[in-house]
Amino acid sequence: MAETLHPRVLVVGGGPGGYVAAIRAGQLGLDTVLVEAGRLGGTCLTRGCIPSKALIHAADKFADMTQGSALGIAIDQPPRLDFARTVGWKDGIVDRLSNGVAGLLGRAKVRVVAGWARFSDAKSCTVETASGAVAITAEHVILAAGSEAAALPALPFGGDVISSTEALSLPELPARLVVVGAGYIGLELGIAFRKLGAAVTIVEAADRILPRYDVALTRPVRRWLARAGIELHLGATVTGRDGDNRLAVETTAGPLVLAFDKILVTIGRRPLVAGWGLEEMALDMAGPFVKVDDRCHTAMRDVWAIGDLVGEPMLAHKAMAQGAMVAEIIAGQRRHFDPGGVAAIVFSEPEIVVAGLLPDEAAVAGIDAATAIFPFAANGRALTLEAGADGGFVRVVARRDDQRIIGIQAVGRHVAELAGEFAHALAMGAVLDDLAHTIHVHPTLGEAAGEAALLGLGHAIHL
Ligand code: FAD
């Protein structure tokens, strides 16, 4: 064995869950080793959140130039897309952020071991590194192995069948893209590729897009898909190939064949539980996920698990929050994790923000709640951003008895940046009065949140 290490804390996986856990543990003075087989930053930074948002931004810029506008701005020559350069620009951002994570880990005095960890028991693993095997036995183990794209049995990944990872690094723009799965990843990428000029078809087995969200919230996105010429097949399942570059789909109206250059399969992600010795660790499972309590502790003493490995929502900020929390618990602090505080954004066209309970979810939970909706059509800033006419709104869900806000959602262009205010209101246990009487800066989209709360109180000003 080239080397043997005995740190206080071993973190496996350098995604947002793992690297944040390691940085926080290092800040708290815990001797910490982080093992990562790929690049620091994990799925989110190298092939998920960041590269997808870079591509979406580039697609927005390109679409703005190609579509002309009512603003009196015209471009005489049609703009040209150098897709390889777009991907190169995106890669530059990834490089910069991944190197930044390495710097932060170094500052926190975390030792990074590059290679794949394989456990022989719950506290011991071996990592094959470029310079030989490293054996690590730790007092505390934080598992942050993340997740991988789920494949369709009839359409395994490879060649022209790609996951989001390959979609974010294509050498050229596919002329015809079929997206299988209208969850947030499929929609975000499908919309971006459409804006870049690809002909996009979306196939979804459920009877609506973003099946976890209600129809009111997704209606503006449905409208945009139709306007943009994206072919959408709901209640449709892929049965397999029908010759080269032809995909067989079963729809409620009968069989269908779709021509494609690439098929992007985005039917969900599953936790990465194979290939690193989970079976040697005697942990309990919750379905496909590692089972943890509200402190992210597993069934094995001093073995912790965080992020995509432990369940929904499979989001980077949840992984980060859990990572920091576990490091603080190991350092002796009293913490627990509240999943209700995790907001989510769909970077679609227009964008969707969901924080707390949807009206339907409140009803299912037996909460007597009132809902107030303020449209962006009545918000000046939305109009100046060409964002007022897409049917967008802010919706506040509050308990009838004490007016406590239990959910805030929005759909509309540029609403992503409202997520912080929504999450903050929920985290602080705000009531309608708190949000309504916060003086929102004019002109901003945030005013719509204040107005929705005022509406909940029965006296919106601008409606
Ligand atoms: P990961 O980020 O998956 O990191 C796990 C790391 O562990 C990987 O780097 C892997 O190499 C390493 N690893 C695993 N096993 C071992 C081992 N045995 N030895 C060594 N290393 C190992 N989330 C958002 O919040 N916002 C978004 O906008 C968003 N957009 C997304 C877009 C796409 C296209 C995708 C695919 C995902 C997106 N996500 C987004 C989800 C987000 O990426 C994940 O929720 C997040 O990365 C989970 O973090 P994690 O630390 O649990 O795992």
One pLDDT digit (tens) per residue for the chain, 463 residues: 679 999 999 999 999 999 999 999 999 999 999 999 999 999 999 999 999 999 999 999 999 998 767 888 888 888 999 999 999 999 999 999 999 999 999 999 999 999 999 999 999 999 999 999 999 999 999 999 999 999 999 999 999 999 999 999 999 999 999 999 999 999 999 999 999 999 999 999 999 999 999 999 999 999 999 999 999 999 999 999 998 999 999 999 999 999 999 999 999 999 999 999 999 999 999 999 999 999 999 999 999 999 999 999 999 999 999 999 999 999 999 999 998 889 999 999 999 999 999 999 999 999 999 999 999 999 999 999 998 888 999 999 999 999 999 999 999 999 999 999 999 999 999 999 999 999 999 999 999 999 999 999 999 999 9
CATH superfamily membership of 161-267: FAD/NAD(P)-binding domain (3.50.50.60)
Does any ligand 1 atom lie closer than 6 A to the CB of residue 114? no
* Dihedral sign, Cα of residue 315, residue 347, residue 217, residue 184: negative
CATH superfamily of 350-457: FAD/NAD-linked reductase, C-terminal dimerisation domain (3.30.390.30)
Catalytic residue among 6, 336, 437, 442: 442
Could you tell me the two tokens for 97? 């952020």
Is residue 42 lining ligand 1, measured as CB closer than 6 Å? Answer: yes
205: nearest Cα among 227, 186, 225, 177: 186
12, 35 Cβ separation under 8 angstroms: yes
Q: Which two tokens stand for residue 269?
A: 């992600």
Q: Residue 355's CB: how many other CB atoms inside 10 A?
A: 27
pLDDT for the residue numbered 74: 84
Tokens read off for 283: 């942990």
Query: Can you tell me the distance from the alpha carbon of 274 to that of 203, in angstroms, rounded to the nearest whole number?
Result: 29
Check whether domain 3-148+270-339 has CATH 3.40.640.10, yes or no: no
pTM of the model: 0.97
- For 419, residues 6+ apart whose C-beta sits below 8 A from its C-beta are 343, 345, 353, 355
Q: Is 118 exposed, middle or buried (0-12, 13-18, 19+ CB in 10 A)?
A: middle
The answer to whether 189 and 349 have CB atoms below 8 angstroms apart is no
Instruction: Name the β-bridge partners of 410.
Output: 353, 394
Asked whether 344 and 210 are in contact (CB, 8 A), the reply is: no
Element at 35 (helix H, strand E): strand 32-36
105 and 112 Cβ atoms separated by less than 8 Å: yes
35 lines ligand 1 (CB under 6 A): yes
- Dig out the tokens for 46 from the structure: 């190298």
CATH fold match for the domains 3-148+270-339 and 161-267:
yes
Q: Is the CB of 18 under 6 A from ligand 1?
A: yes
Query: Residue with the nearest Cα to atom 33 of ligand 1?
Result: 48
End-to-end C-alpha distance for the chain, whole angstroms? 71
Phi, psi of 384 (to 5 degrees): -70, -20
**Locate tokens 């985290």: which residue?**
427
Please name every residue paired with 48 in a beta bridge, in sequence order, or none if there are none.
none
User: pLDDT value at position 309?
Assistant: 98
Nearest Cα residue to atom 35 of ligand 1: 48
* CA dist 266 → 52, 121, 155, 199, 273 (Å): 13, 34, 12, 17, 19
CA of 449 to the centre of ligand 1 (A): 31
- The 8-class DSSP code of residue 349 comes to S
Q: What is the rounded distance in angstroms from the CA atom of residue 67 to the CA atom of residue 73? A: 10
Whole-number pLDDT of residue 76: 87
Q: Which atom of ligand 1 is nearest to the CA of 149?
A: 36
Residue-range domain boundaries for the chain? 3-148+270-339, 161-267, 350-457
CB 187 within 8 A of CB 165: no
Q: Which two tokens stand for residue 427?
A: 């985290």
Nearest atom of ligand 1 to the alpha carbon of 35: 20
CA geometry: angle 444, 450, 452, nearest 5 deg: 115
